Structure 1
Amino acid sequence: MTIRITIFIKKLPTVSIEHFHKYWSEEHPKIFLSVPIVQKNLTHYQQFHTDPNISAELRKMGLPIAEYDGGAEFFANSVEDAMAVFQDPEYHRVVVPDEMTFLDRDAASMMIGTTEVKWEDGKPAEGIKVDLVQ
């Protein structure tokens, strides 16, 4: 069973949104992925970058848009594998100090669980029965 961790993050107030997205997208992955336990224990890593302009417009329409600047998603084969990454001394020595330069670690929020695909490639996932519009 694949475990998924999503961490919702906010930029530091002292960092511009442009710098945050550029640094997080281009520089931080080099540091994060340099840690051996990350390479060993994670099967997938991706980032979700919010668009502040779109978020502001949708808020004006009354939609409940989360107050985060992005989300990091990590996949592992077990909870133990995933948690070992975040408890690893090398992660704390190398990655945490880098994070402290651009994101507010205290404002981060984590979810952990499994993913269930229900719709993919324009059709229901296996085992899902729906009436398709013709």
Structure 2
Amino acid sequence: MTVHLTILIKKLDSLTDEQFHAYWSNEHPKIWGSVPIVQAKIVKYSQFHVDAPTTAALRAAGLPLAEYDGEVEMWADSMEDLMAVFQDEEYLRVVVPDEESFLKRSEAVMMLGNDEVKWDNGKKAE
């Protein structure tokens, strides 16, 4: 069973939404994926990009939307594999400074757990 890490992130105030999403979507994955420990230990990686105008409209309509600009999801075979990534010397030297160039690392919020699929492809999962 794989473990699933979700990280909610906020962009730097100095960036526009467009700058943030373009960099995070196009440039950061190249840097992140270039690190050998990531290639060895991360099973799956995805990004969720918040649509700011729609979020603002829904928030104005009274829905309780989170105050984040995106979500990162990573899957690994174990918690130990995830920790190996985050403690890796090259990851700390290469990826962390890149993240600091476009997101507020100190305000990121993490959740770790296991996926339980209950509904898939339009029907109850077995």
Structure 1 length-normalised TM: 0.93
Give the drift of 1:69: 0.2
Query: Aligned residue for 2:120?
Result: 120
Distance 2:59 2:16 in 1: 21
Give the drift of 1:103: 0.4
Structure 2 length-normalised TM: 0.98
Distance 1:7 1:40 in 2: 20
Regions of 4+ moved over 4 Å: none
Query: Aligned residue for 1:65?
Result: 65
Flag structure 1 segments of 5+ consecutive residues without an equivalent. Answer: 127-134
Query: Aligned residue for 2:19?
Result: 19
Query: Percent of aligned pairs with the same residue?
Result: 60
Flag structure 2 segments of 5+ consecutive residues without an equivalent. Answer: none
Query: Aligned residue for 1:110?
Result: 110
Query: Aligned residue for 1:98?
Result: 98
Query: Aligned residue for 1:53?
Result: 53
Distance 2:55 2:42 in 1: 30
- Give the letter aligned to residue 109 of structure 2: S
Q: Which has the higher helix share?
A: 2
Query: Aligned residue for 2:87?
Result: 87
Distance 2:86 2:19 in 1: 25
Query: Aligned residue for 1:129?
Result: none
Query: Aligned residue for 1:74?
Result: 74
- Give the letter aligned to residue 87 of structure 2: Q
Tell me which structure has the larger Cα radius of gyration. 1
Deviations 1:2-52 (A, max 9, x none): 100000000001111100000000000000000000000000000000000
Distance 1:60 1:13 in 2: 21
1:44 aligns with 2:19: no
